[in-house]
Amino acid sequence: MPSEPDAPQSFQIGWGREPDLADTISAMLLAIDDPAYISHAELQYGIADNLGSWADHRAARTRQYVASMLSASPENAEERRVATIMIDSTIVGFALVEITRTNPASPFATLHDVVFSPSVQGRGLGNALFDWLAEQCRAEGVQRFLLESGVDNHRAHAFFKRQGFLQTSIVMMRDL
């Protein structure tokens, strides 16, 4: 399997808290038209109606979801954050991260969404973001990353496996 080329020399990674980031990050999520991206998170937040079907109110719900990630209070047991990667002051990728400390012996981080602009995919920025996230989370005592991905999002699955992720479960649903 070919490796990703080296990341561009000039990029910045950091935690974003500015509410005005919601529009940019929402637009990047909304640019993903492929229903293979839909996982249980999109269903839970009303961003998708069903597997393979985006919700009519997708734009508003996506913006609300992203805004909630940006406005979360650090004092909460479950802390929400947005990691951004920027080139020339433009966000080219991000990760929506939730750190859960309800069990102090085993805090973990859930990566809800990891998205990159198509123009930078395959340039090593994913490796850089995951390395940075691991460093930041380890420094806070986080011991594990968890994530979920749409069942047919095979390209993302291959990327996550290259980052060292292992499949640990299968999420199932049933409409009532």
> Is 1 a residue whose pLDDT tops 50?
no
Length of the chain: 176
Tokens of 124: 């090593």
Question: What phi and psi, each to the nearest 5 degrees, are found at residue 113?
Answer: -145, 135
Tokens of 94: 């991000």
pLDDT digits (tens, 9 = 90+) for 139-164: 999 999 999 999 999 999 999 999 99
Buried b / exposed e over 19-43, threshold 16 CB at 10 Å, is: eebbeebbebbeebeebbbbbbbbb
**Residue in the block written with tokens 């993302």:** 156
Mean pLDDT (whole number) for 70-75: 70
Q: Which of 7-11, 20-24, 28-32, 129-133 has the lowest mean pLDDT?
A: 7-11
pTM: 0.87
Q: What confidence tier does 2 reach under pLDDT thresholds 50, 70, 90?
A: very low
> For residue 103, what pLDDT is reported?
83
Average pLDDT of the chain? Answer: 89
Is domain 13-162 classified as CATH 3.40.630.30?
Answer: yes
